[in-house]
Amino acid sequence: MSAVEILDDDIYLGAENNFNLLTVKKNSEGATDEERGRLEVIGEYHLGEFVNRFCHGSLVMRLPDSEIGQIPTVIFGTVNGVIGVIASLPQEQYIFLEKLQSCLRKVIKGVGGLSHEQWRSFNNEKRTAEARNFLDGDLIESFLDLSRNKMEDISKSMNVQVEDLCKTVEELTRLH
Protein backbone atom coordinates (compact mmCIF):
# COMPACT_ATOMS: atom_id res chain seq x y z
CA MET A 1 0.00 0.00 0.00
CA SER A 2 1.22 3.48 -0.81
CA ALA A 3 -1.69 5.51 0.63
CA VAL A 4 -4.85 4.83 2.66
CA GLU A 5 -7.83 7.00 3.58
CA ILE A 6 -10.94 6.35 5.70
CA LEU A 7 -14.12 7.09 3.75
CA ASP A 8 -16.52 6.22 6.58
CA ASP A 9 -16.65 3.92 9.61
CA ASP A 10 -16.60 0.77 7.48
CA ILE A 11 -15.14 1.72 4.07
CA TYR A 12 -11.51 2.52 3.27
CA LEU A 13 -9.79 3.72 0.10
CA GLY A 14 -6.31 2.52 -0.75
CA ALA A 15 -3.65 2.90 -3.41
CA GLU A 16 -0.91 0.37 -4.03
CA ASN A 17 2.40 0.17 -5.84
CA ASN A 18 0.97 -1.40 -9.01
CA PHE A 19 -0.83 1.89 -9.80
CA ASN A 20 -4.22 0.55 -8.64
CA LEU A 21 -6.92 1.97 -6.38
CA LEU A 22 -9.12 -0.22 -4.23
CA THR A 23 -11.91 0.15 -1.73
CA VAL A 24 -12.41 -2.28 1.11
CA LYS A 25 -15.25 -2.72 3.58
CA LYS A 26 -15.05 -3.87 7.17
CA ASN A 27 -17.31 -6.81 8.01
CA SER A 28 -19.05 -5.23 11.03
CA GLU A 29 -21.73 -7.93 11.18
CA GLY A 30 -19.29 -10.85 11.35
CA ALA A 31 -20.08 -13.53 13.92
CA THR A 32 -16.52 -13.88 15.23
CA ASP A 33 -13.70 -11.45 15.94
CA GLU A 34 -11.78 -12.96 13.03
CA GLU A 35 -14.66 -12.32 10.61
CA ARG A 36 -15.11 -8.75 11.90
CA GLY A 37 -11.38 -8.16 11.42
CA ARG A 38 -11.41 -9.06 7.73
CA LEU A 39 -11.71 -6.50 4.98
CA GLU A 40 -13.73 -7.34 1.87
CA VAL A 41 -12.57 -5.78 -1.41
CA ILE A 42 -15.55 -3.97 -2.93
CA GLY A 43 -13.88 -1.86 -5.61
CA GLU A 44 -10.86 -2.18 -7.88
CA TYR A 45 -9.48 0.18 -10.52
CA HIS A 46 -6.23 0.68 -12.41
CA LEU A 47 -5.35 4.37 -12.21
CA GLY A 48 -1.99 4.16 -13.93
CA GLU A 49 -0.41 6.55 -11.43
CA PHE A 50 1.49 5.95 -8.17
CA VAL A 51 -0.67 7.64 -5.52
CA ASN A 52 1.26 8.71 -2.45
CA ARG A 53 -1.31 10.90 -0.67
CA PHE A 54 -5.06 11.07 -0.06
CA CYS A 55 -6.82 14.01 1.60
CA HIS A 56 -10.52 14.70 2.23
CA GLY A 57 -11.57 17.89 0.49
CA SER A 58 -12.27 19.57 -2.80
CA LEU A 59 -10.34 21.57 -5.38
CA VAL A 60 -13.29 23.93 -5.95
CA MET A 61 -15.58 25.98 -3.77
CA ARG A 62 -18.85 24.15 -3.23
CA LEU A 63 -22.26 25.67 -2.71
CA PRO A 64 -23.86 23.89 0.24
CA ASP A 65 -27.36 24.02 -1.27
CA SER A 66 -26.35 22.34 -4.54
CA GLU A 67 -26.69 18.61 -5.12
CA ILE A 68 -23.02 18.40 -6.12
CA GLY A 69 -22.04 20.14 -2.87
CA GLN A 70 -23.32 17.16 -0.89
CA ILE A 71 -21.07 14.57 -2.59
CA PRO A 72 -18.04 13.71 -0.43
CA THR A 73 -14.70 13.85 -2.26
CA VAL A 74 -11.13 12.80 -1.62
CA ILE A 75 -8.23 14.49 -3.38
CA PHE A 76 -5.18 12.44 -4.30
CA GLY A 77 -1.66 13.33 -5.31
CA THR A 78 0.81 11.18 -7.24
CA VAL A 79 4.58 11.03 -7.53
CA ASN A 80 4.27 12.43 -11.09
CA GLY A 81 2.45 15.53 -9.84
CA VAL A 82 -1.05 14.47 -10.88
CA ILE A 83 -3.84 15.79 -8.67
CA GLY A 84 -7.16 13.96 -8.91
CA VAL A 85 -10.52 13.67 -7.23
CA ILE A 86 -12.43 10.59 -6.09
CA ALA A 87 -16.12 11.15 -5.34
CA SER A 88 -18.49 8.88 -3.43
CA LEU A 89 -21.60 9.04 -5.62
CA PRO A 90 -25.14 8.12 -4.56
CA GLN A 91 -26.16 4.68 -5.87
CA GLU A 92 -28.74 6.00 -8.36
CA GLN A 93 -26.27 8.46 -9.90
CA TYR A 94 -23.54 5.80 -10.01
CA ILE A 95 -25.80 3.38 -11.93
CA PHE A 96 -26.75 6.09 -14.44
CA LEU A 97 -23.13 7.15 -15.01
CA GLU A 98 -22.00 3.52 -15.27
CA LYS A 99 -24.48 3.05 -18.11
CA LEU A 100 -23.19 6.24 -19.77
CA GLN A 101 -19.60 5.02 -19.37
CA SER A 102 -20.53 1.71 -20.98
CA CYS A 103 -22.07 3.52 -23.97
CA LEU A 104 -19.04 5.79 -24.30
CA ARG A 105 -16.67 2.79 -24.37
CA LYS A 106 -18.40 1.64 -27.54
CA VAL A 107 -17.96 5.03 -29.23
CA ILE A 108 -14.57 6.24 -27.98
CA LYS A 109 -11.63 4.10 -29.03
CA GLY A 110 -8.53 3.80 -26.88
CA VAL A 111 -5.11 5.06 -27.85
CA GLY A 112 -3.03 2.46 -29.70
CA GLY A 113 -5.92 0.01 -29.92
CA LEU A 114 -5.97 -0.60 -26.14
CA SER A 115 -9.52 -0.93 -24.87
CA HIS A 116 -10.70 1.17 -21.95
CA GLU A 117 -11.73 -1.95 -20.02
CA GLN A 118 -8.28 -3.45 -20.50
CA TRP A 119 -6.47 -0.31 -19.33
CA ARG A 120 -8.66 0.18 -16.23
CA SER A 121 -8.53 -3.49 -15.18
CA PHE A 122 -7.02 -4.04 -11.74
CA ASN A 123 -3.66 -5.73 -12.24
CA ASN A 124 -0.97 -6.85 -9.79
CA GLU A 125 1.51 -9.72 -9.40
CA LYS A 126 -1.18 -12.12 -8.16
CA ARG A 127 -4.14 -11.46 -10.44
CA THR A 128 -5.94 -9.36 -12.99
CA ALA A 129 -9.60 -8.43 -12.55
CA GLU A 130 -12.07 -6.20 -14.34
CA ALA A 131 -12.47 -2.77 -12.75
CA ARG A 132 -15.49 -2.60 -10.48
CA ASN A 133 -17.30 0.07 -8.44
CA PHE A 134 -15.20 2.86 -9.93
CA LEU A 135 -16.07 5.16 -12.82
CA ASP A 136 -13.65 6.98 -15.10
CA GLY A 137 -14.61 10.64 -14.85
CA ASP A 138 -12.29 11.60 -17.70
CA LEU A 139 -14.06 9.16 -20.03
CA ILE A 140 -17.50 10.36 -18.92
CA GLU A 141 -16.50 14.02 -19.36
CA SER A 142 -15.30 13.25 -22.89
CA PHE A 143 -19.01 13.00 -23.78
CA LEU A 144 -19.00 16.80 -23.99
CA ASP A 145 -16.30 16.65 -26.71
CA LEU A 146 -18.27 14.33 -29.00
CA SER A 147 -19.99 15.43 -32.20
CA ARG A 148 -23.70 16.11 -31.96
CA ASN A 149 -24.47 12.92 -33.95
CA LYS A 150 -22.52 10.72 -31.52
CA MET A 151 -24.15 12.48 -28.56
CA GLU A 152 -27.56 11.73 -30.04
CA ASP A 153 -26.65 8.06 -30.60
CA ILE A 154 -25.60 7.70 -26.98
CA SER A 155 -28.66 9.56 -25.69
CA LYS A 156 -30.95 7.27 -27.71
CA SER A 157 -29.31 4.15 -26.30
CA MET A 158 -29.81 5.56 -22.78
CA ASN A 159 -33.35 6.89 -23.42
CA VAL A 160 -32.34 10.35 -22.22
CA GLN A 161 -32.37 13.70 -24.01
CA VAL A 162 -28.98 14.99 -25.19
CA GLU A 163 -29.45 18.21 -23.22
CA ASP A 164 -30.13 16.25 -20.01
CA LEU A 165 -27.00 14.15 -20.53
CA CYS A 166 -24.92 17.28 -21.15
CA LYS A 167 -26.32 18.89 -18.01
CA THR A 168 -25.54 15.78 -15.92
CA VAL A 169 -21.96 15.56 -17.19
CA GLU A 170 -21.42 19.32 -16.75
CA GLU A 171 -22.59 19.03 -13.12
CA LEU A 172 -20.09 16.23 -12.63
CA THR A 173 -17.28 18.49 -13.86
CA ARG A 174 -18.03 20.85 -10.97
CA LEU A 175 -16.58 18.29 -8.56
CA HIS A 176 -13.08 19.35 -9.57
Q: What is the pLDDT of residues 30-79, one digit of tens each?
A: 888 888 889 999 999 999 999 999 999 988 877 666 666 688 999 999 99
Contacts of 124 (CB under 8 A, 6+ apart): 16, 18, 20
Domain that holds residue 87: 3-173
Residues listed for the chain:
176
**Nearest Cα to 118, choosing from 49, 46, 51?**
46
* Residue 75 to residue 71: CA distance in whole angstroms: 13
Write down the pLDDT at residue 67: 65
pLDDT (mean) for 97-116: 91
* Residue 89 to residue 74: CA distance in whole angstroms: 12
* Residue 94 scores a pLDDT above 90: yes
* Residue 78 to residue 61: CA distance in whole angstroms: 22
Please, are residues 152 and 143 in contact by the beta-carbon 8 Å criterion? Answer: no
Q: What's the structural domain count of the chain?
A: 1
CATH number at residue 9: 1.10.150.910
Write down the pLDDT at residue 63: 64
pLDDT (mean) for 125-142: 96
